[in-house]
Structure 1
Amino acid sequence: MYTWKLTGRAFKRFNTNYNSYGSSRLAIVLEHCGPKTQNRGKFGIYRKRISLWFREQGTQVAHVCKKQFEFVAAQRIRRYIQIFQLYTKIWDEVALREFMRSWRLRLARNTKNFLISATGVTVYNWDRERISNEEINRHNREIEGIHKLRDSTVVCAKCHLRLVIDVVQPNVKYCKCNIQSSCISNQDCSWQPFIERQDMLIWRKEEPDSGGLFAYKVYGSFSDVTADDFLQVQIDVDYRKQWDPTAQELKIIETDPRSELSINHSTDIIHWEMIWPKLFSNRDYVYQRRWIVDREKGLVIIVSRVTEHPDVPERRGIYRVKTYWSYMVIKPYTEFHEPGIEFGLTYFDDPGVAVPSTVTAWVALRGLPDFLVRMRQASKDYQKYKLMKQNATESENSHLTLPVEDVSKEQIKVNVENNLDDSKKSMRNSQDRQDDSDNNTNKLDVTHDVQQNNMMETENKDTNSTSKEKQGLLHYFYLGKLFAFLDI
């Protein structure tokens, strides 16, 4: 009896949700199982009823818990989805605002470029990359500076006659004082005399932070070339492909809109691919070239430097030259259309080949004078080429154009070879006339003869198997290393 009472109180004490229905039903059970019940059989029946009640209540409780769990889980999932959608919208808006803000800044900087890029077109930024007028005007007095450099490095300070650099040239009076000249005050002595040929002087100096590479300065005085023709040799890309056998590809990519209608100045983006031996990749240049004809000052100034253009990406198997700059100044003796010019050219480029300086010097001594002679002859033949091209253009049969161009090209080569032979003959005659010179000059002549004979023997060996335009690695290395300065 006491057990049932304690059980009822325990249900009431610990079960706050104990309802009236459950309590009344339990009371009936307890009442039947009370002290009035003396029969053990009846107690077993009520015990089964109690276990059945607990089982029913447990099933209902589990069912309610299951529904509650499903409800809570659904609410949690719904909340997570709502939070995800909310933060997605927030971050999308922030990203959009940041994107619009960046484009507003670009629009403020360059409205034209923004509008063009919005249409999906990429262009060259002329306003940012254009060679400035200050850079052009910086070279107005280049010829005068070369005259001072010549007087301070290759002219005797005592007798004011020319000093011998490497080869004695005809019609030049040389010093016999055996005293080397020193640089005058306020003159850069880093330019060292390097090569002398007929009507040409070449200096060089080591470029800082270049790994031992040299920048070159060329001075020439040609009495048989006009300034107009010499300029066209530098800027006419079609003619350059006629007389330069190393030009694999040469074309103008784009012209500055400011100079399209002018005949006295122009700024162009040029792509030039140069042939190299099979063991090496071809080299190509993408550079901006600006030239100006100032007829009042009597000067032509050409400035070039490497650049990047979206229409000329780097190609596989071709090495893109990253470092290159040059400037050339042409000054006529009298008028632009009359023969007689002097010019100065300073340039530097890095073709990406590690070659000892001794090899570079030997290649330069061998190839540079011949190339300058070739360029000189091309200038003399430019009017013939122009006339042939004009006749070919006027001809009704388009197939005649190629033979005309081939004839002009072959004629140029023949003229160059004849000019080179004449130059060598004159050099030999000049050496014969130097027999009465002092012992120092005789030693120089003997040394030159030995070097020249060795060089000619090497050239004869090379030309037995290949043509003169394809003389192997050193020929192409020289053209790549030393002639990238030509402004096409």
Structure 2
Amino acid sequence: MFQSIPRMHARVATLGTKEGSGLPAWLGSVLSWVQSGGRAERSKGMMSILYNQCSFVSGQRLRRAHQIGELYGSLYSERSRRSLMGNLWRRLRSRHPRTGHLLAALVGVFMWEEEKIRDEELQRCANEMQTVEMLSRMSKQGWQRDPGPEEQAWEVVMDRKNFRVWRKPIPDSHLYQYRVLGTYTDVTPRQFFNVQLDTEYRKKWDALVIKLEVIDRDDKTGSEVVHWVTHFPYPMYSRDYVYVRRYSVDLENNLMVLMSRAVEHPTVPESQDFVRVRSYQSKMVIRPHTSFDENGFDYLLTYSDDPQTVFPRYCVSWMVSSGMPDFLEKLHMATVKARNNEMEVKDYLSARPQEIKAPASTERHGDKSRGQQQGQGHMEYA
């Protein structure tokens, strides 16, 4: 009987063996399952080791960056640190532009190099003053067309004692661009200029302001990014603007230029409480009659924006053309209060005298104060 057991075992093994494999089918399946399970466990183990290693390296680098930040914080001022970080950021962006833009969006960095107002834009604003003065003379003679190369039609929509308003259609849009050429004789150019730039003062004289603050600044050019929230006529929602602004004071040519235009800033996302105005531009050129500190000047305001309304074109045009004189009057009265020392206003012309360059002075009319200004040369910052 015992001799038949090996024969039965061999028979069973033969019946359960795959052809050409030498192992039973069930045993091969078990071994394959064990081997696959082992690979999965090894994969999990490798992933765990890799995760721990990455966490360790990332933690080490973060601690090192924090230590470096503390070191630079103790060695340099805040302005120097910003300048250093700006230089490093510009170097990264120049070498890896796509990576730089992605990182800028992730970490909330404003791309000054792409969004800044450039010198040639300020120069074009200054050149427009002469063009519009010519336009004003021609329109008084009955010819209401811009003599510039674009030959765009300008239409007079308001003509008053101290100012005149034109408008022209913006191409491929239902909106207009507006120009105001005006004169004031009872305040100085410096006072008028400072009132426009002082955001804290505007909160006091402009009742429509809900919020107005400088959220970013470029130390290289002095340009600023401003977040402005303002009431709109009922029942419309309030509007908010995010714009970059820069100014130039040319003492040699006796001109002041202030330019603003809409931008996007990562620290001020769009809010459901307001309607974001994404198309906005304002340019102001001031030409003193004599000097920056004597009463009397001409100004040119060029303005356009898209308030995101559903009203017809003529309604939007009426709101802008009727609201502009009211704003200019409020701006003028605020300047009169600043002149009378009723309100304190920051003096932007002397805010950073260390950046003034000194070309040859050229006095006119023998005016002493004017000669002192031109001796200081050309000052340019936002």
Please give the TM-score of this superposition, normalised by the length of structure 2: 0.66
Shift of 1:127: 2.8
| CA gap 1:239/1:72 in 2 versus in 1, 3 angstroms | closer
> Which of 218, 223, 244 is 2:206 aligned to?
244
Cross-structure match for 1:316: 272
Cross-structure match for 2:325: 369
Cross-structure match for 1:303: 259
Shift of 1:220: 0.4
Cross-structure match for 1:195: 158
Shift of 1:242: 1.6
Instruction: Verify: 1:227 aligned to 2:183, yes or no.
Output: no
Cross-structure match for 2:128: 142
Cross-structure match for 1:213: 175
> Which of 205, 220, 228 is 1:258 aligned to?
220
Cross-structure match for 1:293: 249
d(CA) in 1 for partners of 2:231 and 2:163?
A: 27
d(CA) in 2 for partners of 1:278 and 1:186?
A: 39
| CA gap 1:85/1:106 in 2 versus in 1, 3 angstroms | farther
> Which of 139, 143, 162 is 1:181 aligned to?
143
Cross-structure match for 2:31: 71
CA contact (8 A) 2:249 2:256 kept: yes
Shift of 1:364: 4.1
DSSP 3-state at the match of 1:346: strand
Q: Look at both structures and tell me which one has the larger radius of gyration over its CA atoms.
A: 1
Structure 1, unaligned stretches of length 5 or more?
A: 1-24, 26-48, 91-103, 157-179, 260-265, 391-488
Instruction: Verify: 1:345 aligned to 2:301, yes or no.
Output: yes
Provide, for residues 379-405 of structure 1, a one-character-per-residue CA deviation record: whole Å limited to 9, x for no partner: 222133x55549xxxxxxxxxxxxxxx
Cross-structure match for 2:94: 109
CA contact (8 A) 1:276 1:282 kept: yes
d(CA) in 2 for partners of 1:328 and 1:355?
A: 28
d(CA) in 2 for partners of 1:277 and 1:298?
A: 38
Instruction: Verify: 1:336 aligned to 2:292, yes or no.
Output: yes
CA contact (8 A) 1:329 1:344 kept: yes
Aligned length, in residue pairs: 294
Higher helix share: 1
Q: How does 1:446-465 map to 2 (within 5 A)?
A: none
Provide, for residues 218-266 of structure 1, a one-character-per-residue CA deviation record: whole Å limited to 9, x for no partner: 100111121001101210112212221110111111222125xxxxxx4
Question: Partner amino acid for 1:128?
Answer: E
Cross-structure match for 1:357: 313
d(CA) in 2 for partners of 1:241 and 1:83?
A: 63
CA contact (8 A) 2:250 2:256 kept: yes
> Which of 256, 262, 276 is 2:232 aligned to?
276
DSSP 3-state at the match of 2:220: helix
DSSP 3-state at the match of 2:300: strand
| CA gap 1:304/1:364 in 2 versus in 1, 3 angstroms | closer
Shift of 1:58: 3.9
Identical aligned pairs, as a percentage? 31
DSSP 3-state at the match of 2:117: coil
CA contact (8 A) 2:337 2:343 kept: no
Provide, for residues 2-31 of structure 1, a one-character-per-residue CA deviation record: whole Å limited to 9, x for no partner: xxxxxxxxxxxxxxxxxxxxxxx8xxxxxx
d(CA) in 1 for partners of 2:143 and 2:92?
A: 60
Cross-structure match for 1:267: 223
Shift of 1:197: 1.5
Structure 2, unaligned stretches of length 5 or more?
A: 18-22, 51-88, 346-382
CA contact (8 A) 1:197 1:369 kept: no
| CA gap 1:388/1:379 in 2 versus in 1, 3 angstroms | closer
Please give the TM-score of this superposition, normalised by the length of structure 1: 0.53
Shift of 1:122: 3.4
d(CA) in 2 for partners of 1:128 and 1:105?
A: 11
| CA gap 1:249/1:106 in 2 versus in 1, 3 angstroms | same
d(CA) in 2 for partners of 1:303 and 1:206?
A: 21
